Structure formats: C-alpha cells, structure tokens
Amino acid sequence: MILVVNAGSSSVKCAVFDGDLKRVTTLKATEIGGASRIGGLPADLPDHAAAIEAILTALPVDMARIRVAAHRVVHGGADMTAPVRIDRDVRARIDALSPLAPLHNPVNLAGIDAIAAILPGLPQTASFDTAFHTTIPDVASTYALPEAWRARGLRRYGFHGLSYAALARSLTGIPRLLACHLGNGASLCAIADGRSVATTMGYSPVSGLVMGSRTGDIDAMAVLRMAEEAGIAETGRILNHDSGLTALGGTNDMRRLQADAPKAVEAFIYWAIRHAGSMIAAMGGLDAIAFTGGIGENSAPVRDAIADGLAWAGRVPVHIVPADEEREIARDARALTGPFAPGDGTR
C-alpha cells in the first residue's frame, strides 16, 4: 500500500491507496499546535510529528503493509521538475527552497522527517506542486528584473500543479482547456494539449485571483508601503492570512459570503473572469472549461457566473472534476518504486 502525506501549515492529511490506486482510507489532523482534532475529535497534537504519529496509530490499516510514503511538496524550484525518491540530497534541496515557499516547504519537510522517525527505512517520495508548470514558456515565466535577481530564483513558478495534473489526466483530448482550481487557495491554468502554458500564481501562491485569505494581485509599491509601516513579517502575514475574501467579507466560507457579503463574491468572480481572459489569450482560444477545488466543485452560482462572463470566448463544454491530488501523488510513488505485487504490495 501507499501512504500519501499532505502536510499544511496547521494540518496533515494522510490517505492510503492500494497498488491499484484505489483509496483505502483517509484521515486528517487539524489545528496542530492549538485546539487540535483528528477526524473531528479532540487530540493533543503539539507539532506535525505528533500529528502524523497519531494518524498512523488511528488509521485502520496494517502499517507493515505500507510500501512507500509519498509526500506533496509545494515548491520544487526550477530544477526538481518530476517526482523523486527522497534521500539526503533531495531533502537538502527541498530545505534550500524554503525561502521561496516559507509557509509550505518547512511543513512538508516536517512530514518527511516525521515519517523517517516513525517508520525508519520506509522509502519516501516527493511530488511537487510546481512541476506541472515547468512547460510554461520562458516569456511567461520570466519577470522583467535585473539578471542578478532572476538568478536568485525570482520567476513565475505556479502552484496547484498536482491538482492540474490530475485534472488534465481525466480530461484528455481537449486542445485548449481553461482549468479553474477554486478553493481557499485559487488559481487558473491554461492547459494546451495537456501541458501548462500559463497560470495565475507566480513566485508565490499570493499572486493572481482573490483567494480565501490571500490578496491576489497587488501592486509591489503597495506591498513596500505596508512593509515600511507594519514590518516585513507582519506584511507577509496580512497578505497570506488576513486578506482576500476574509478581508472583503469577514470569512472565507463561500456559502456565508453569498448570503451576507455579495460584494466579496462579486470581486472573486470578477477577478476570475479577468484573469481567465489572459489564460485564454495565452492558448489562442478556448475549447472547454473545467472547475475543481472546494468552491469550483460545490458552488454552482460561482461556476455559472464565471462561465457566463466568458461567453465572449464561445459557448464551450463545462466540466466539474473532483480534486484528486492524493491519487496523483500515489501514482507518482508507484511509478518511482516499481510494480506492485497483485493486491496492494507488501514491503
């Protein structure tokens, strides 16, 4: 079996798949370091290591049958463009990229280290959210900065790549697909013949659409003013945690916003449509739209409003695709570790 670990800043989600990529079970720990819960029940989880240990104890599977632990890692930089088996060098490279994703890579490493401590000797793999976007052309990924700064890694990377890879796998044969991953984190991706050619997120997941708690696009000079007055750390916290729908409507819950803060919903839809025009231009047209993520899958009014706002590009099929990042990660791990025996494989 394959254990998939998806570590967030204050949560960990673990899923188990058999060798045929059928989901066996899933369990999530939330509010790590605070009012922690596992599967909705209170738990004492001071850190990610404690959370993962508690999840592995609670999962209704025989840990001896786990063949590999597979991790979502948000940032792979410009070099790690495909899934990899984790060794000391790969771990160091993921760590070195932490300044590019300070809210994500450190907790991804915490998950990797926790598995290494709890299940020593178990092979581990990493799948990168940035990898799907390495097909974006240089003209789209390059910021117009002095070369010295570009050499330090300042460029557009793009995120939600595992979600988009799974979506593209399920919707084949569409020449020009506008993919909309709409949730607390939200982005768009122009997928031409199965390959990413443009996306709304950039150097970090802050840019692009209005999101649950992230600003989306904001003028750099506005950020500098905030940094001067509030400090760099506080500005980063505001941009990532106190902005977006939370700032405009007091919550990131789309159902509550539709009832109580329609102007915030209007902003979310407006910027999705406006950025979608850019994605359509990058592909030279549009053949289909696909929605995924919590809002994309569950909010018909938001989907309909975005599709109506793009009617100028032609009436095209609209698909709703359940997000399936964990299965995509499990698929990567299976490919890296070789064929499984009939059933789920036993290490």
Would you give the end-to-end CA distance of the chain in angstroms?
Answer: 9
The answer to the question of whether 181 is labelled as a binding residue is: yes
* DSSP state, residue 143: -
Task: Say if CB 158 and CB 185 are below 8 A apart.
Answer: no
Q: Which two tokens stand for residue 170?
A: 């399920």
What are φ and ψ of residue 203, in 5° steps? -60, -35
The answer to the question of whether 183 is labelled as a binding residue is: yes
From CA 315, how far away is CA 185, in angstroms rounded? 27
Q: Is 158 helix (H, G, I), strand (E, B) or coil?
A: coil
Q: Which two tokens stand for residue 211?
A: 């999101």
Q: Which CA distances in Å does 180 have to 13, 17, 71, 110, 200?
A: 23, 26, 23, 29, 10
From CA 129, how far away is CA 325, in angstroms rounded? 10
The answer to the question of whether 216 is labelled as a binding residue is: no
Q: What is the pLDDT of residue 342?
A: 52
- What average pLDDT does the segment 97-101 reach? 85
pLDDT at position 137 over 70: yes
The answer to the question of whether 328 is labelled as a binding residue is: no
Task: Say if CB 333 and CB 297 are below 8 A apart.
Answer: no
pLDDT at position 343 over 60: no
The answer to the question of whether 253 is labelled as a binding residue is: yes
Task: Give 241 or 139, the one with higher predicted confidence.
Answer: 139
Closest CA to 2 of 61, 89, 50: 61
Give the confidence band of 341 by pLDDT, cuts at 50, 70, 90: low
The predicted-structure confidence for 127-136, as pLDDT tens digits, reads as follows 999 999 999 9
Q: Which two tokens stand for residue 24?
A: 């066996």
From CA 155, how far away is CA 43, in angstroms rounded? 41
Instruction: Rounding to the nearest 10 degrees, give the CA dihedral for residues 284, 290, 294, 295.
Output: 70
pLDDT at position 345 over 50: no
pLDDT at position 8 over 90: no
Q: What domains sit in the chain, N to C, each tagged with a CATH number? A: 2-133+328-337 (3.30.420.40), 172-320 (3.30.420.40)
Question: Considering the chain, what is the average pLDDT of its residues?
Answer: 94
Pairing mode of beta strands 288-292, 318-320: parallel
Where in the chain does DSSP place strands (E)? 2-7, 12-17, 23-30, 37-38, 41-42, 68-73, 84-85, 124-128, 176-182, 186-192, 195-199, 288-292, 318-320
The predicted-structure confidence for 14-36, as pLDDT tens digits, reads as follows 999 999 999 999 999 999 999 99
pLDDT at position 344 over 60: no
The answer to the question of whether 72 is labelled as a binding residue is: yes
Q: Which residues contact 307 (CB under 8 A, 6 or more apart)?
A: 289, 318
Give the confidence band of 217 by pLDDT, cuts at 50, 70, 90: very high
Q: What is the pLDDT of residue 23?
A: 97
Q: Which CA distances in Å does 73 have to 92, 107, 263, 343?
A: 13, 9, 34, 28
Give the confidence band of 166 by pLDDT, cuts at 50, 70, 90: very high
Active site residue 242: no
Give the confidence band of 347 by pLDDT, cuts at 50, 70, 90: very low
Q: What's the sign of the alpha-carbon dihedral 105, 106, 107, 110?
A: positive
Task: Give 3 or 9, the one with higher predicted confidence.
Answer: 3
Give the confidence band of 102 by pLDDT, cuts at 50, 70, 90: confident
The predicted-structure confidence for 37-83, as pLDDT tens digits, reads as follows 999 899 999 999 999 999 999 999 999 999 999 999 999 998 899 99
Q: What is the pLDDT of residue 104?
A: 86
From CA 1, how far away is CA 20, in angstroms rounded? 9
Catalytic choice (44, 129, 138, 217):
129
Q: What is the pLDDT of residue 10?
A: 82
Q: Which residue type is seen at 252?
A: N
Q: Is 262 helix (H, G, I), strand (E, B) or coil?
A: helix
Place of tokens 């916003």: 257
Task: Say if CB 132 and CB 165 are below 8 A apart.
Answer: yes
